[in-house]
Amino acid sequence: MRKRHALVTAYLLLLTVWADAQTVRLKYPPTGFVTERLSVSDLEIWKTIERIVFAEDKEGQSFHPTLRNLWQWVETSGHTVFIEFIKVRGVSNCTAGLFTIERFDPLGEHHIAVIKLNLTNINLAYVGPETRKPSGFVPFIGLAKQERYAEVLGHELAHAVHILTSLERVRLVEELVQQTNQMLLSKHSKRQKAHQITHAELSRRVAKRDELLRRLEEQAEQMEQVIWQELVKGKRLNSKLPSLAENKSDKREFGFAIRKIPSPDQTGKK
């Protein structure tokens, strides 16, 4: 009888330990990139992007050092960055890519963030004079499909590294950008009352948010231009890169073709 009691106790103890481990796992996902939100086919695309990021010449020199450094920083940062792919055309808050904070750690040790890439919008992006930046840079020009994904990933990684390296910036993004967006979303719902914010206060918040977003975009766009230059240069240096970057069935997508779609307003904003 006593023996059976001991066995039951041990079993219950084991269950408690297992449950605790699951809770910890839920509370603290692994650090670096977490791809568990990707489907099997998405994972293949992600691996192709990874191969582009780490492509190097015969001497082991990276073709895309900026992109690779940003990637490696995230992997070793101690923060979690979930990867998600969106395949819906024209989702307003994710034109090509999006970086958001899912959980802010006040100690700055383990933030949880997410990078979303809208593959459909990237595929359909208009590339031409209308999307030329003041610096002369035209996003995506000269790049194949998966290389464009890598460019957008680079833009979002630039946001990730710039924001996650400063606790103050993470706090600002969480409080000023994301909370303001939530307030705007719930403007006409009951939840607005919970915020207890006046119209004037909300307008001030939106103005501050837009100024912060402008500064963040400026930084990410500069990095994206450098990444685009490396992608184009790497492609020129390694004529084998197309077979690395593209599936055989996608060959017609490769090259310097410019794809036009009727609505240029789908592009440019990341």
Q: Give the footprint of Zn ion on this chain (CB under 5 A).
A: 220, 270
Nearest approach, Cβ of residue 218 and Zn ion (Å): 10
User: Nearest distance from residue 159's CB to Zn ion, in Å?
Assistant: 5
What is the tally of helices (H) and strands (E) in the chain?
A: 10, 4
Task: Report, in Å, the least distance between residue 87 CB and Zn ion.
Answer: 20
C-alpha to C-alpha distances, 212 to 62, 111, 163, 227, nearest whole angstrom? 33, 20, 11, 23
Of 157, 140, 131, the residue nearest 231 (C-alpha): 140
- Shortest separation between residue 220's beta carbon and Zn ion, angstroms: 4
Cβ closest to Zn ion, residue 55 vs residue 163 = 163
DSSP string, 64-124: -HHHHHHHHHHHTSSSEEEEEEE--TT-TT-SSEEEEEEE--TTSS--EEEEEEEHHHHHH
**Nearest CB to Zn ion, comparing residues 211 and 250:** 211
Least distance to Zn ion from the beta carbon of 98, Å?
Answer: 8
DSSP code per residue over 167-220: HHHHHHIIIIIIHHHHHHHTTTSTHHHHHT--HHHHHHHHHHHHHHHHHHHHHH
Contact in structure between 225 and 133 (CB atoms under 8 Å): yes
Task: Name the residue nearer to Zn ion (CB basis): 74 or 220.
Answer: 220
CB of 210 to Zn ion, least distance (A): 13
Pick 153 or 220: Cβ nearer Zn ion: 220
Q: Minimum Å distance from CB 28 to Zn ion?
A: 27
Query: Nearer Cβ to Zn ion, position 157 or 220?
Result: 220
Q: How far is CA 64 from CA 42, 74, 109, 154, in A?
A: 22, 16, 28, 10
Query: Of 55 and 216, which CB lies nearer to Zn ion in the complex structure?
Result: 216
**251 is written with which tokens?**
């060959």
Amino acid at 132: R
Q: How far is the CB of 228 from Zn ion (least distance, A)?
A: 14
CA gyration radius for the chain? Answer: 22
Nearer to Zn ion by C-beta: 102 or 253? 102
Sheet holding 80-86, edge to edge: 32-34, 80-86, 112-118, 97-103
Closer to Zn ion by CB, 115 or 241: give it: 115
